[in-house]
Structure 1
Amino acid sequence: MKYAKIISSGIYVPKRKMTNKEFEELTHFQIDPYFSEQIGITHRYISDETETPTYMAAEAAKKALARISMKPEEIDLIIVGTDTPEAISPPDAARVQYLIGASKAEPLAFNVNASCANGALLLDIASRYIALGDYRNVLVIGVYAMTKFLSWKYSWEALFSDGAGALILTADDKPGYLGSVSRCDGSWWYNWGIYMGAGTMNLNGFERGLHKLDLRAAYPATVNEEGWPILINKLMEKCNFTKEEIGMIFFTQVRKKTIITVMEKLQLPVEKAHMVMDKFGYTGSACVYMAYDDAFEQGKLKDMEGKVIIFLTSGVGFQQVAVAFRG
């Protein structure tokens, strides 16, 4: 049996930066000090018309490939996770395959949409493909272009930022990938999302603004504070590791205070939860890969041999996914 091992990462950050002050001037909402102190976001990045989802995804992938001097044709499978795709159809992943120069090798390429839970889910899917022996090198990419879907007239829109993160996994004889756990509650499907689609095209969808992100009903404030510790404990039980073996946890970068609270509940030092919302804003499907890349750049992943690294992501819909790897 083969195990998936993470061997490289790369990110793409758009050129345009918008500070909290600039957001306040644009929308006439005061978001600070709350956003800076509680959420942990001081600015966000706005992609321009050339920085499309496939462009950002490809640029992140190119950096991940360059870091380990891997040729694009060595990639056997490409999975893109996003809920802000370049088009409903065809999938972004096929375009990314072409943009990174991998099309001659014809690796399979497809999209996944579990909203912002994509990060952990893609790693789980890729690892299972590798375990089956069908693929050796798998490229997973999370990309987020949510600013394209904002109305810029609500205070909560200050949360969102654009960007892409990519990880490369390869087959190894020892773990590697340990396993995953997840939960989903579709009763919250109507709470928050972009509701333009086949079910609304003929119902005056554009006139009703359904092509824009819509917060219809807030999720419970404790949905992650309660759900994340539950999943971590289930993951430890299922994959047979202890709390003391955890080296790093990459949570969905949605709220700094939530991550701090969860680490306190788990009785783990907050330093083991690397956070990047202060650098990149909230980048949805890309955020945990961007956090991983940033931790790598800072040298925080050097001493992870034998330690467990966890990715735990949440998304509207509603779903949460946690996946574990041993360094």
Structure 2
Amino acid sequence: MSGTIRDRLRRFTTSVEQSEDLTPAQKKAVLEGYEEALGKEGPPRLVLIGQTGVGKSTTVNALFNAGQEVGHSKATTDRAWTIPVQEVSGCKGALEVVDMPGLGDDIANYRRYLDLYRQILPTADAIVWIHPAEDRTVQLVQQALADVFGNSPELVGRLVFGLNKADEIGPHDWNRHANLPSELQRTALREREEEFTRSIARVLPSWRGRAVCYAAGRFFNLTALFKEMMYAVPEQRRWVLEQRMALADFTALVDRKLLRAATARTLAEIPEGDPTPPVPQQTPQDRTRQPDPHEPRSVADALAELSDAQWRELYADRARFEEYVRRVERGQSR
């Protein structure tokens, strides 16, 4: 988004404070009324839909630093419930999350769940449907969409489709040192997004969004998912959701040596505004040396393994690298 809602709110308060047409008393009254209006605005409500084990709780944790319990051997949530997310990581206010029971767990529950969905969905600011990225079985999703939204076209615009666990898609060669998909995975993820989007459009032609592949557990592509959520929320309520955003740091799972070397190289070599430095190459000695399985990988080896696209993506956010350098200098990160 070219300008965030937070920026607009900040510009508004700044314009009031700097106005020469208002007296100090008038400025105070406007700003106090503004703060009062913000305080009365209810928290955003997200309704999460997806089968058990798809990673709904993990997704909320990654987007909002919510600290929800994450279940592995059994369902953490098996009923609709509201979870207030308290102020964390600088976010202000609460976030209401309604975790719907997973469709597909038992055919005997399907009709009962549909009735529950019809009751809950109209209360949502955004409806986030989460599906495994690698799972190409979408017939149940299409059927449920037709059953729930066929008679509620006004809710279609609030739908967001997230394809979680992008790191598990074939050919299963995620680069865990750079925390990025391989070139083949990147292609597969792009095709998966396009394929899933078409499958939804076949049953909901009025839907204008796009499916987003992401990996909540790897903090990958959360920005794209959150952007789709922002578009889905009614415009007058978008600022409320945006204020709660606390995306997990993608670089937290990047190899520390690689990130430290990439940070230093980026700040030293990249001109301001140029996000595409040359890809590092191995020396002849590096290429001929046999690796020792007990020896930690060298930074040179790790950097040289990155593809061009992975290298560019890792360097794309200069501000994040600069912040990381400051954290290192303060001794807050390895």
TM score, norm. by length of structure 2? 0.27
Tell which structure's C-alpha radius of gyration is larger. Answer: 2
Going by fraction, where is strand more abundant, 1 or 2? 1
TM score, norm. by length of structure 1? 0.27
- Of structures 1 and 2, the one with the larger relative CO (CA 8 A, separation 6+) is 1
